[in-house]
Structure 1
Amino acid sequence: MNRSPLSRFSNHSEDYQKYRPRYPESIITYLEQNIGLKRDQLIADIGSGTGIFTELLLKSDYQVSAVEPNEQMRNQAEIRLKQYPKLDHVSGTAEQTSLTENSVDLITVAQSFHWFDLVQTKTEFKRILKPGGHVLLIWNILQQKSQFLKAYQALKDQYTDRKPYVEKLETIRIENFLGPAKIVRQEIYHSRLLNKDELLGYFRSSSYSPIQGEPGYENLVAEIDQIFDEHQQNGFVKLEYDAKLYFSSFT
């Protein structure tokens, strides 16, 4: 399954919105306390997808420009978040956002950094950021401490056509991108419980998952059933995450 970054999620947008983990609300408090984020400032959420992190910002009454190149995912966000008057949807990429020069106080990138051309993106972020603005990179990293999470990761490894996340290599890319300014790091633990249907939906939300009707889909369903039945307690399995935050003044 070889898809371009732009098209990878085109058949996964509904599952992505329904089953991907949210982000802990304490992220907002942390940002307000550590970078002085204020309600009248503009946030650009780049690679915003279906608006999962965007919604967290909007619920805290921030003005947000959500920049997303994938039409299906952007449409999901437009429908779901239409009640928020402080939201502007933008068809654009990290490399070419189309946002106004020196207009943005904070750039957020939730779970999409690995898709970017980092040289072009850094130039674009410097263009749109106000002096003294910040860049925040965020990942929800699924832990692998329990036997269930180890089994789930092994199943993911069978299906992915992408190189696995290697923390040391990704850290080097982050430091090169956010530097030479000081980089602040923070981890916030959170968890959730999923039933069997939700676990399958969560797997299907990944860009590498086969969709119904594609080769391998029925085998995937059977393997999800097996893993769930072996590890469930009272009809649920527990997924545990570390929300990893990296931010800098990007000067």
Structure 2
Amino acid sequence: MRSTERFTGLANIYGQARPTYPQELVRWCLEQAPAPGVIVDLGCGTGISTRLFASTGHPVIGIDPNADMLATARAEGAQDYRVGSSEHTGLPDACADLIIAAQAFHWFDLDGTFAEVERIGTPRSACVAFWNVRLEDTPFMQGYETLLRTWSTQYEVNERAGRTINAIRERATQAVLREFLNPVPMDRERVRNLALSSSYVKHGVADIPAFLQALDALLDATSTHGKVQMRYATRAIAWRVHG
């Protein structure tokens, strides 16, 4: 299955359940471009990161190849969303001051994406890729990680983020790494939807009802007043597009 199709049918619960990103990350991203004007969000999905950066007052263009995800994004707000990929955005040359990719760069073809970023980036532009990576520092977080590794034959998201960061560092000029703590309180319904919004659950878990029963048992054992804290470290890498 092509990576562009892995999230088809998941857009609604993806948009409802997925966490956003900390404001400290947004400020840091904006600091990477000397004069951030137009921002391009590659692999924008349902527009979680697009809306977050648009709230700073900068114009943001969201690019995604999946029509299902873009339909949900457009229903959430009047941002500029366009069908395209990280290798073929359809944007004009030198139009972007800041290029971002939230929870997406591990799906991209690196050669094609780096070439496209150089084409659309202004002379002083920057690119930032970032991921919410789950921590394993509480009983719930440890249990959730074990659950995914036990039930899904395709689970390797944390490893993909790390491998992609390393691959970017081998290519990028003056790459800078930062990490931001991002804890997100969630109730049972949101945790269940978060799990179901993952492509590695949809395509990698053979028995979804049994998986959800196991998840409910974990929540029964670790929640407080019906809620848990989904604890993330938002890991980011930034680099100058043109050196």
TM above 0.5, one fold? yes
Partner of 1:61: 57
Letter of the 2:76 counterpart: R
Partner of 1:76: 72
What is the 5 A alignment of 1:59-208?
59-82=55-78, 87-157=79-149, 158-163=151-156, 165-166=158-159, 169-177=163-171, 179=172, 181-208=173-200
Unaligned runs of 5+ in 2: none
Letter of the 1:137 counterpart: A
Change (3 A) 1:204 1:37: farther
Tell whether the 8 Å contact from 1:210 to 1:216 is kept in structure 2 after alignment: no
Partner of 1:16: 14
Tell whether the 8 Å contact from 2:124 to 2:240 is kept in structure 1 after alignment: yes
Tell whether the 8 Å contact from 1:31 to 1:37 is kept in structure 2 after alignment: no
Tell whether the 8 Å contact from 2:176 to 2:238 is kept in structure 1 after alignment: yes
Change (3 A) 1:28 1:168: closer
CA positional deviation for 1:13: 0.8
Question: What do residues 99-124 of structure 1 show as CA deviations (whole Å, max 9, x unaligned)?
Answer: 10111111101010011111111111
CA RMSD of aligned residues (A): 1.8
CA positional deviation for 1:176: 2.4
Paired with 1:226 and 1:240, the residues of 2 have a C-alpha distance of 19
Paired with 1:165 and 1:217, the residues of 2 have a C-alpha distance of 22
Letter of the 1:220 counterpart: F
Residue of 24, 44, 48 corresponding to 2:44: 48
Paired with 1:73 and 1:124, the residues of 2 have a C-alpha distance of 22
Is 1:217 matched with 2:214?
no
Question: What TM-score comes out, normalization by structure 1 length?
Answer: 0.90
Paired with 1:31 and 1:208, the residues of 2 have a C-alpha distance of 29
Q: In percent, how many aligned pairs have the same letter?
A: 25
Question: What TM-score comes out, normalization by structure 2 length?
Answer: 0.92
Change (3 A) 1:74 1:168: closer
CA positional deviation for 1:215: 4.7
Tell whether the 8 Å contact from 2:148 to 2:155 is kept in structure 1 after alignment: no
Letter of the 1:229 counterpart: D
Letter of the 1:116 counterpart: F
Unaligned runs of 5+ in 1: none
CA positional deviation for 1:14: 0.8
Tell whether the 8 Å contact from 2:11 to 2:72 is kept in structure 1 after alignment: yes
Paired with 2:35 and 2:197, the residues of 1 have a C-alpha distance of 31
